[in-house]
Structures are given as C-alpha cells and as structure tokens.
Chain A
C-alpha cells in the first residue's frame, strides 16, 4: 500500500492505493468516477483519456502512484453549477454520440484542444482527436460537435 495525494475534479484526496494500480483503476474503482472508460488498456483507443496537469493522457498507461501531486480532470469535472459543459451540449445537439463509449475520452481531448487553441480548423480538430477511436459515428459528427462547441463557448452558452 502506498499513500498518495492528488486532486480530482477540484477535490483533494488522500488515498491508500495498491502499488500496481493504474490511474484508470483509481478513478473508476476507488472514486467511482465511471465516466472514464477502459477500451483497449494499451493506449490505442483513447476511451480512458483524462486531463492530467493540463494535458490529455491515457489513464490506462499511467500508474496511480505517478499521479501523486497531480491535478486530474475527468468528464465528471466538466459540469459547473449543475450545467453541462458547452462541448457536451454541442455533442448532444449535433448527434455526435451514438453508443457513447468513446464520448467521455473524445470530449476530454476536445477540451484540451480548445483550451490550447480556441479556434481550430477542421483539420486541427481531427488531429486533436486522433488519439480517440470511435466505432460508431465515422467522426464527422464529432468534428461538427467540436465546431459547434467553439460557437457555444464564444457565445458564453
């Protein structure tokens, strides 16, 4: 057992973890944050994407103890005052969600992209979500969703 401190979605935690636990296990099993999904477990699909200290990471490839002292943002951390994030709203509005398994990771990648580059081209959006696989949508609706989110964010929606 190892004790670590970290901040998840704005809350500080002090946790006893198993040495070989991964960040995704910590989030799902210890904290019950089930929005973060495990697909491949090998860094290929992006379903487990979270934002760690401002950058997207695949949480299946991060050991939990490595996150000691870090700030983690998961899909659950995007709502504020009971209102979902503009990217989430935009995904719903354009129909970018089918089965939804890829969606939380996809939205975290989109968020990291827009935080860095608030006005990306379609090409840049595709590149930004290139580490997230979706087996349902064919990606066009997802790119549409991110584009709409840019408007929503500008309008302060």
Chain B
C-alpha cells in the first residue's frame, strides 16, 4: 500500500474539495467493509484515503413526505432499525438485514455498496425497483443519476471528483409493496449469490397494474427484469402465470449467463427466489386489503 495521506472528513464541503484536489488518486472510505480488504489485497492503490464515516449530514434517513432520502453514510443497521422500512418497504429492510453479519451491518453502508460497484451487491435490487436516484456532489455542484442507469450505462458513473451523498426514491403507495428474497449464504459461498426484488400493485380484480422486478447476480450487475415485467403486467397471479413467469425469467438469464459454471445452479435457485418474493408481496397485499 502506498497510502500517502489520510483524511477524516468533517463535512461534505471539505470532502468534495479534497476530491477536487486529488481526483483519481483519492478513494472514499465509509464503513470500510469492502475497501479495507481491497487495499490489503492491492486491488486498489489510492494515494489518499478520505473517511466519511463521521459526517453527520450523510448519516440521516429523511422522510420528506412523498420521498425518502437515505444518506450515503447510513449503515445497514440503521435501515433495519428504521420503522419507515417496516410495512410496504420491508423488502429494503430485509435486503439490508441479510447483508453480512451484525458487525458488517453496523459499519457497511448502502452508499458504499453502490459506489464500489460491487457486482454482487445484494442490497441493490430493491433500490432499483424503487427507481432510486443517486445524488452526487462536487465543487461543480449537484448532479443526479438514476440507479438503473448507473449500473447499465458506461457513461453514467460517479466521476472521480464526485461524492455520493444520498439515495432518494419516491415512497410506494399504500397498496404497493416492495418484497425481496435472497439466497442466504455467507461470503465463503459467494459464488452462488442471487437476489430478487419485486415492487407490485394489483387492481381490485387482482390484476397486476404495476410491477418492477430487479435481480442481483443474474447478470453482470443488478438490473431490471424487463421481459418478466412485461409478461406479468395486466395478468392475474394464478399458478400457471407464476410458472410461466419463472420460465420467462429463466430464458432471460440464460441469455446472459449461459456457459457459466454457475448457470445451472442459478437457473434452479431463481425459481425459488422469485416465488418467495412474490408470495411475501401477496401476503402483504392480502393483509392491507382486509
């Protein structure tokens, strides 16, 4: 490690100025749960490390009426313990609860998970279903990018002089629900990671009038499953529809993963994960209807 300088950032303004000065030579560290390992394995080799873990303005979960903003320094534990993510947003709670261990959840952040672009970022699919926006700051000002584009579009990245300050999304309506399912494995078995998030709304007859499905580890990065969404939209969730939906999803993932050693396993596992996420969503919707 050739670290020359380390800074303990006290506020966002100070950090963006440091980023402006050092650019690519600097790396932001928050919880450290990925970065410290990367540093020690020489996967990254920054000259400057800027810690943002003590910056209060990055550590808040803000309820702005129709919107929620999660600061980039908010830990997974903070999300899990926040009542905002209990009812129809519980999929995000569940995703954060299934990250690592208590110690990792105490330090690790959603912001870090995003900014490090970890391909196996299991906590991301719920944020994609919510059409979240990443809010970035630099000395040049403020910029927003959609989380979906951030993952799929080469040109929509966080620039070296930008700091991810928060993740924002619109609250789902009372009759919509966000659910989540993930293979619950530790890092030792990380090869077979897989997660599915669903945001769904039904009309009075039980037909799907809104659906977003996002997956983790079914491709190069977390992504929307558009073919499955299109297939499900307007349909009632009968057993045959769900069975067919699984096939649609399996065909879509096959295009991306065929030939990889993990494909046969993931193909089977995704069936279970999709059904689990769907069942949990339906359970919630049944309850609010009663």
Interface residues of A, Cβ cutoff 8 Å to B = 2, 19-20, 22, 41-44, 46, 49, 55-58, 60-63, 65-66, 68-69, 109, 112, 127-128, 130-132
Beta-carbon contact of A43 and B6 below 8 Å: no
Residues of B within 8 A of A109 (CB): 102-103
- State the Cβ distance, A64 to closest chain B Cβ, in Å: 9
The answer for the CA separation of A38 and B4 in the assembled complex, in Å, is 25
Q: Which residue of B lies closest to A112 (CB)?
A: B102
- State the Cβ distance, A110 to closest chain B Cβ, in Å: 11
Q: Which of A65, A69, A127, A131 contacts B104 (CB 8 A)?
A: A131
* Contact of A63 with B51 at beta-carbon distance under 8 Å, contacts A43-B33, A57-B106 already known: yes
B40, B53, B101, B188 — most chain A CB neighbours (10 Å): B101
B170 at the interface (CB under 8 A from A): no
The answer for the CA separation of A20 and B36 in the assembled complex, in Å, is 9
Per-residue interface assignment for chain B, residues 91 to 111, with 1 indicating a CB less than 8 Å from any chain A CB and 0 otherwise: 000000000111110110000
Beta-carbon contact of A66 and B32 below 8 Å: yes
Beta-carbon contact of B5 and A19 below 8 Å: yes
Interface of A is mostly: mixed
Interface residues of B, Cβ cutoff 8 Å to A = 1, 3-6, 8, 29, 31-33, 36-37, 39-40, 49, 51, 53-54, 77, 100-104, 106-107, 186-188
Q: Which residue of A lies closest to B36 (CB)?
A: A61
* Contact of A55 with B29 at beta-carbon distance under 8 Å, contacts A43-B37, A44-B188 already known: no
Q: Which 9 pairs show the lowest CB-CB distances between chains A and B?
A: A131-B101, A55-B106, A19-B3, A131-B103, A20-B1, A65-B6, A61-B36, A58-B103, A20-B3
The answer for the CA separation of A69 and B9 in the assembled complex, in Å, is 12
The answer for the CA separation of A46 and B106 in the assembled complex, in Å, is 13
Residues of B within 8 A of A65 (CB): 6, 8, 49, 51
Beta-carbon contact of A66 and B103 below 8 Å: no
Q: Which of B6, B36, B106 contacts A19 (CB 8 A)?
A: B6
Q: Which residue of B lies closest to A22 (CB)?
A: B36
- State the Cβ distance, A68 to closest chain B Cβ, in Å: 5
Beta-carbon contact of A58 and B29 below 8 Å: no
* Contact of A20 with B8 at beta-carbon distance under 8 Å, contacts A61-B107, A128-B102, A131-B101 already known: no
Beta-carbon contact of A66 and B8 below 8 Å: yes
Beta-carbon contact of A44 and B36 below 8 Å: no
Q: Which of B3, B40, B53, B102 contacts A130 (CB 8 A)?
A: B102
The answer for the CA separation of A132 and B103 in the assembled complex, in Å, is 9
Residues of A within 8 A of B187 (CB): 42, 44
Beta-carbon contact of B37 and A56 below 8 Å: no
Beta-carbon contact of B77 and A55 below 8 Å: yes
Beta-carbon contact of A61 and B33 below 8 Å: yes
The answer for the CA separation of A94 and B101 in the assembled complex, in Å, is 25
**18 residue pairs bridging A and B, Cβ less than 8 Å apart:** A20-B3, A20-B39, A22-B36, A41-B40, A43-B33, A44-B187, A49-B103, A55-B107, A56-B103, A57-B103, A58-B107, A61-B31, A66-B8, A66-B29, A66-B32, A66-B51, A128-B102, A131-B102
